[in-house]
Structure 1
Amino acid sequence: MWRRAALFILLATLFFFLAGRLDPLEDPHKSHLLSRLRGPLRYDDPVFLALLRRSHLIQPSPLPYALLRDQTDYQAKVYNSHMYMDFAYAKLQKLLLEVFSGEGPGFFVEAGAVDGEFLSNTLFLERDFGWTGLLVEADGDMYRNLLQRHRKAWSCHCCLSPHPYPYREVLIKYSGRGDSQPGTSMYARGHGVLQSHEPVSPLQLSGNMIDGKALPLYESVQCFPLASLLLALNATYIHFISLDVEGAEMDILLSLPWDQFTVDVWLVEYFPPKIHSHKSHGNSFSLQNEGQTDNYENESTNAVNRADRLPGQSNPITTNAQTPTNSKDSDDGPISSSRIYSQTPATTPHHQTSSEARKKEDSSFVEFFTLKGYDQYPMDTADMMHNYLFVRRGSQIHRKLKRYEMI
């Protein structure tokens, strides 16, 4: 009898022991799985990174380039006219050529790649200097065109997440209407914006919806952190990142774990979100020691509640860009990117105050990179489509530019 009792106790003890071992809260592996289900996923989750590389990243094309700039038919000529009629883009390309001239092949990231050719900041590096990298485009239509260009770089149909985790978002993309000027549609498609960041997008802040020549379209897109994409490619040293994502730039920069990556050069399009108001609404970021941010309020948070603070069409925001008078920018050709943001010069004290606020916000943005170890390349940002160029101190490019007194 006592043997049966002892056996029963032994079996019961073994049962409860195994039950405890199988408890997800006790099993580290199962606990990790449950944490994934609760979300949000960490940017460096190993299972997530494996899925990202396997299912979302497309390898560089082995096929010959299929670029419109190599064609001579009428459609190609209209498309290619941006290379010599968009003066801001031409100046920016000349500047980038000066910066990267003489550099060996490197790795780039271009976020906001459009179709991989139109207004591309990386195509010349890849085609002429043997670089490779990563192209990111959220617009599904443009991404399909990008794949047809046969770029020699990885690519991903996604948006860069303004958070340190993946999620889905609505992309507002713009399509030129039938009565648009030739070339307008491509400029419009280059200004797609995440719905959460539409209030702080350049088009909204400038009060100009591409001269009324665009219609909004909507697409649900997957967003991935920049860090996740880089880790999935095992890329921790990046020579050049071009960031043009229509208002989400600062959130993406703040969500990046800077200690895990080295980036030599950043090209960032940046519109200060407060240029539309002379009052402080607590929407700015202040900088503390060692590049840490404090009291930064995410511009995508409470966007609906802040809608009444945004400028109306009757009170446009002034930028340094002037309205083009060149006849080449008429209805017979494509509109330029400088024309998209052009506004009537302001004369009221409100706009003067806004200009002062913009300078303050610009200096805060520059200081963010300064505290991260970068020097700003001297350039007229308004004349360069509101792009800022930052070069990492101590990098080979920085030493070269310093030697030639270019920075």
Structure 2
Amino acid sequence: MNPHMYIQQDKSQTDYSKEMDQLNREQVSMDDPRLIQLIRNHWIENPSDAEYNLQFPDLLDPSAGQAPFVDNRMSFKERGFYVECGALDGETRSNTLMLERLRKWNGLLIEADPSNYKNLKEKHRKAFSINACLSIYPFPVIMEFKQRFSQGKLIENERDRGGKKGTIIEVQCFPLYSILLAINVTRIDFFSLDVEGDELKVLQTLPFDQVDIEMMTVEYKHIDLGEDYLKNYVENKGYDSLVKIGHYRQWANDIIFKKRKHFGS
């Protein structure tokens, strides 16, 4: 693990939840220093330096094909940086575990479901991690979340509340940009985004002029505005859509994007 991939934290503040409640009420901006400091000190967890504790250690690539495709298009890059949300248990269908193990990448794992996150921590991934959801607004917010392992999602309306069964809990949501500032990273080689329908809303909070993302895989299946709208939005941000990744058991319905060279120059 590269030494610079750890962050120094000050956990002396014991009543930080009250300050967080206040920032939620104020709907502070994504780059508010108070918000960044709270995320850094009290939500981010540093990478593990323990041995991996994987359920299937001999399975190098648990993804549905996203990881080897990105690996190839990135020319088998060593020591890159990834972001994966939702990260589930850190192993099941992970789009980043292969890059971490084979190419020694560092990264950030984001998982909203506390049950999944507990299992994720037991895998000893070599990445920052955070038990929070990605905000669909350009400010932090508490939202309701339905727990369903790989199908957990934010509750935005009565349709979300109904349907498939699942325990409903409240979760803290942060803009992705805020989390990135908290770990001092704005250059990302690979971003894996699967949040059961809110992918477009998450991307719409992201200041693409402030964050440099080389490649992305984005699930499109549950986006209300549809696959074509997602493609047009991301392509207008300077990306080419390269391939659709599918799986016969519906484990993947992704589009992989790559940043066009010299976009905007």
TM-score by length of 2: 0.81
The CA deviation at 1:364 is 2.5
- AA at the equivalent of 1:368: Y
Query: Is the contact between residue 85 and residue 195 of structure 2 (CA under 8 Å) also seen in structure 1?
Result: yes
- AA at the equivalent of 2:77: E
Task: Please state if 1:389 is matched with 2:259.
Answer: no
In the TM superposition, 1:97-176 aligns within 5 A as 97-174=71-148
Q: In structure 2, the residue corresponding to 1:68 is in which secondary structure? A: coil
Q: CA 1:55–1:121 in 2, change beyond 3 Å: closer, same or farther?
A: same
- AA at the equivalent of 1:110: E
TM-score by length of 1: 0.54
User: Structure 1 regions of 5+ residues with no counterpart?
Assistant: 1-34, 72-79, 84-88, 175-188, 210-214, 275-283, 285-360, 396-407
- Counterpart of 1:47 (choices 18, 21, 34) is 34
In the TM superposition, 1:336-351 aligns within 5 A as none
The CA deviation at 1:92 is 3.5
In the TM superposition, 1:178-257 aligns within 5 A as 189-196=149-156, 199=159, 209=164, 215-257=165-207
In the TM superposition, 1:302-317 aligns within 5 A as none
Q: CA 1:370–1:251 in 2, change beyond 3 Å: closer, same or farther?
A: same
Q: CA 1:382–1:369 in 2, change beyond 3 Å: closer, same or farther?
A: farther
The CA deviation at 1:373 is 0.8
Q: CA 1:63–1:101 in 2, change beyond 3 Å: closer, same or farther?
A: same
Q: CA 1:380–1:126 in 2, change beyond 3 Å: closer, same or farther?
A: closer
Q: In structure 2, the residue corresponding to 1:62 is in which secondary structure? A: coil
Q: Deviations over 1:63-120 (max 9, x none)?
A: 111111138xxxxxxxx7x95xxxxx54334423433342121111001100101110
The CA deviation at 1:199 is 4.0
- Measure, in 1, the Cα distance between the counterparts of 2:24 and 2:179: 21
Q: Deviations over 1:148-200 (max 9, x none)?
A: 111110000000000011111111012xxxxxxxxxxxxxx111011116847
Query: Is the contact between residue 243 and residue 267 of structure 1 (CA under 8 Å) also seen in structure 2?
Result: yes
- Measure, in 1, the Cα distance between the counterparts of 2:25 and 2:90: 36
In the TM superposition, 1:269-308 aligns within 5 A as 269-271=219-221, 273-274=223-224, 284=225
User: Structure 2 regions of 5+ residues with no counterpart?
Assistant: 1-21
Q: CA 1:273–1:91 in 2, change beyond 3 Å: closer, same or farther?
A: closer
Query: Is the contact between residue 88 and residue 117 of structure 2 (CA under 8 Å) also seen in structure 1?
Result: yes
The CA deviation at 1:229 is 0.2
- AA at the equivalent of 2:233: F
The CA deviation at 1:236 is 1.0
Q: Deviations over 1:216-245 (max 9, x none)?
A: 112211111000000111111111110000
RMSD after superposition: 2.6
Query: Which deviates more from structure 2 when the two are superposed, residues 163-172 or residues 264-273?
Result: 264-273
Percentage of identical aligned residues: 36
Aligned to 1:184: none
- Measure, in 1, the Cα distance between the counterparts of 2:160 and 2:68: 29
Give the greater-gyration-radius structure (CA). Answer: 1
Q: In structure 2, the residue corresponding to 1:95 is in which secondary structure? A: helix
Q: CA 1:200–1:56 in 2, change beyond 3 Å: closer, same or farther?
A: same
Query: Is the contact between residue 269 and residue 385 of structure 1 (CA under 8 Å) also seen in structure 2?
Result: yes
- AA at the equivalent of 2:83: V
- AA at the equivalent of 2:242: Y
